[in-house]
Homo-oligomer: A and B are copies of this chain.
């Protein structure tokens, strides 16, 4: 195994990517309490919400209220996804540290999701940069970087070219997003290596879904290529719009558990994170996808059965 980074940044997205396709609206005070609790766990970044049209994502209609009401903790970066200039302005007014701009490298997916061509999306990014640069960090996410449910696999050169354009127009950091969980570890290793060779100094986040069970294997492949920032969702909350019953984002607690078991520091309080994950079924009304919340940590030993003497 290649040497792994000594320290990895955990970026929590449960209240944005996790909640956006939940069947029920999570009440605003519950969202605020969840974010405030997550702020205390040691995660590096929290994607608080999305300043999108309430018609498009009713679950996040309270974006401004949530963003203004949370208690900031020093050292945590608070992010909002913004689809356009109006959203960017609202996010800035609500005090967000970072804006996450998203565009699909698959033109078909971008048209279906954003009703814009990729070029039109990039024009919108330019307007946001002009308005907000210096007042917030700007992250550019490349959705469907590892495959599009309509077009299939995306050529790595297209992804690299888009990353280059993000940097040209003034974005500060890049996320490669496996939007519908199509990435495989060999592909991840290749694309992470290529992006780091071309743009090594730029902060790079990997955003994986566990839709086909490969989420943590993809994390391992990315780690071996030096990636050290990962998005994840508490409980593995979130799903796939194309596959009822499929899982969503990789689970934050399962990710932290794997990293800590491998000796990769995260700075995250795993027992506290597990408590929060175990509280999600009561909040959301359904089971979670995360495994460690059910099975316990690898190191949580069990009592020796009666009548058996512990050996060695």
Contact = CB atoms under 8 A, between A and B. Distances in A.
Contacts of A183: 298
The A interface is mostly helix, strand or loop, or mixed, namely loop
A108 B310 contact: yes
Contact of A4 (B186, B211, B261): B186
Contact of A251 (B213, B292, B295, B301): B213
B189 A302 contact: no
Interface string A268-296: 00000000000000000001001110111
A201 interface: no
Nearest to A186: B262
**Size class of the A contact interface (CB-based, 8 Å):** 35 or more
Interface stretch (A53-61, A128-136, A242-250): A242-250
B258 A211 contact: no
A220 B310 CA distance: 34
A23 interface: no
A85 interface: no
A257 B4 contact: no
A74 interface: no
Given A111-B309, A210-B291, A220-B221, A299 B152 contact: yes
* Assembly stoichiometry (copies): 2
A217 to B, nearest CB: 4
Interface stretch (A90-98, A143-151, A164-172): A143-151
Nearest to A291: B213
A120 to B, nearest CB: 12
Interface string A200-230: 0000000000111111110111001100000
7 contacts: A106-B311, A108-B311, A111-B309, A112-B304, A181-B295, A186-B261, A247-B291
